[in-house]
Amino acid sequence: MNVLLCSYRNCSVGMRIIRCCGPDDFFLERVVFPFEVLTFHCPPASDVEVWAKDSLGVVLTEQLSADAMAMQQDGVLPRPEWLPQVPSRAVGVKGNASSVCLLPH
């Protein structure tokens, strides 16, 4: 199965829940603590949702495509799995850092 290596950085002071739904019943759900970086594998056509708790309960704060969160770039060899994986970009949540930013190598 073809998969993407994706990254999400929680730039807020509250916890976030990341839900990734993809083809062939793929599902991933993780809690991301404040300022933590989550890296995960998912199919290319997956949808990623970011959920946060507020005064009304848990609300959807952002919807992203897995393709937009992919760390690997065409023509760049991935690092061997035994080395720590360094994200080439991080995605923040709305109101904090909603842009995709390239990180220095």
pTM greater than 0.75 (yes/no): no
Q: What is the pLDDT along the chain (105 residues), one digit of tens a residue?
A: 688 888 899 988 999 999 999 988 999 999 999 999 999 999 988 999 999 988 888 899 999 888 888 875 555 555 556 555 555 444 444 444 434 444 444
- 41 by Cβ neighbours in 10 Å (0-12 / 13-18 / 19+) ranks as middle
